[in-house]
Amino acid sequence: MKRYQRAALIGTGMIGGSLFSALKEAGAIAHAVGFDARREVAERARSLGIVDEVAASIAEAARAADLIVLAVPVRATESICEALAPALSPEALVTDVGSTKREVLLAVFRALPFPERFVGAHPIAGTERSGPEAADRALFSGRRCLLTPAATTRPEALADCIALWEKAGARVEQMDAAHHDRLLARVSHLPHVAAFALAAAVGRAETAGISAGGFADTTRIAASDPAMWRDVLLANRDEVLLALEALDEELGALRRAIAGRDGAKLESLIARAKESRRRVIDPDSEGGGR
């Protein structure tokens, strides 16, 4: 595969850091330049060997780069594309790692001079940790990476982007950006909203250090970065609101069965939830036993 002579990482946090660590390890990057809105974060990424050089500006990072990876909160995409624009080489591959894809695509079309060289990407991996210290070059190994090319995307940019993520160990799948956002609203954004609400509701009462019955697991993702999740939820607002309606309906059905002491209904709702979870996690399995 292609070896990038000068790869720019905009946003040197956990996700971007993990990607660049993997790509450097795989020999896919000759020289890596990092930029972060908080310069000390970029300096930490350099001291960890994630990038070789810290750029003072986005334009400086982008200049002469043949690969540019945006690993920033999705809401920052447009202003970063504007800052990239004057320095962008027509041959550079531009990709991102954002959790929503329609907003990113709109920002790219508005602000990038060569949007046909941009390929949106969303690696389905991550932890609630953040910062370059949490970067892990094996983070994407065996995990899916969803690419959302637009109708105007150049085939060679798409091919390069597929090769890039495969080099990082990911299993690449392609889908439409709108479909991506609808899907992620369900499988990721809604669980986050539920975890935020649950953590806050439980925390209202004095819990005496007893956190039983899966509270820690159920709210693990509530420990995620607030600014990042603010952006994700707003960027995917319409789909998230639809998903929240579905959650409300399910909570309402459970509440009615509990309030009405309807044991048969309650058991069937719980059994359905259990089966639903199994199907979401492993759609190829046959089900059957409890």
Residues in 212-271 at the binding interface with a second copy, rule: CB under 8 A: 212-227, 229-231, 233-234, 237, 240-241, 243-244, 246-251, 254-255, 258-259, 261, 263, 266-271
CB of 263 to a second copy, least distance (A): 5
Stretch that binds a second copy, among 102-110, 133-141, 155-163, 282-290 (CB under 8 A): 282-290
CB of 252 to a second copy, least distance (A): 9
Residue number with CB closer to a second copy (39 or 144): 144
Residue burial 155-179, b: 16+ Cβ < 10 Å; e: rest: eebbebbbebbebbbbebeebebee
Contact call for residue 276 and a second copy (CB under 8 A): yes
Backbone angles phi, psi at 123, to 5 degrees: -70, 130
Residue number with CB closer to a second copy (151 or 259): 259
Q: Which residues partner with 77 through β-bridges? A: none
Residue number with CB closer to a second copy (110 or 255): 255
CB of 10 to a second copy, least distance (A): 21
Tell me whether residue 195 is exposed, middle or buried, using C-beta atoms within 10 angstroms of its C-beta: 0 to 12, 13 to 18, 19 or more.
buried
Contact call for residue 178 and a second copy (CB under 8 A): no
Tell me whether residue 40 is exposed, middle or buried, using C-beta atoms within 10 angstroms of its C-beta: 0 to 12, 13 to 18, 19 or more.
exposed
Q: Total residues contacting a second copy (rule CB under 8 A)?
A: 92
CB of 38 to a second copy, least distance (A): 13
User: Could you report how far apart the first and last alpha carbons of the chain are, in Å?
Assistant: 46
- Strand ranges (E), the chain: 7-10, 32-35, 53-54, 67-70, 93-96, 118-119, 121-123, 144-147, 171-174
Contact call for residue 151 and a second copy (CB under 8 A): no
CB of 171 to a second copy, least distance (A): 11
Contact call for residue 38 and a second copy (CB under 8 A): no
How many other CB atoms are there within 10 angstroms of residue 192's CB atom?
Answer: 17
Looking at residues 93 to 132 of the shown chain, list those that interact with a second copy (rule: CB under 8 A). Answer: 99, 124, 126, 128
Quick check: 74 and 177 in contact, CB under 8 A?
no
Stretch that binds a second copy, among 4-12, 57-65, 107-115, 194-202 (CB under 8 A): 194-202
Backbone angles phi, psi at 104, to 5 degrees: -65, -45
Query: What does the alpha-carbon distance between residue 97 and residue 13 come to, in Å, rounded to a whole number?
Result: 11
CB of 1 to a second copy, least distance (A): 26
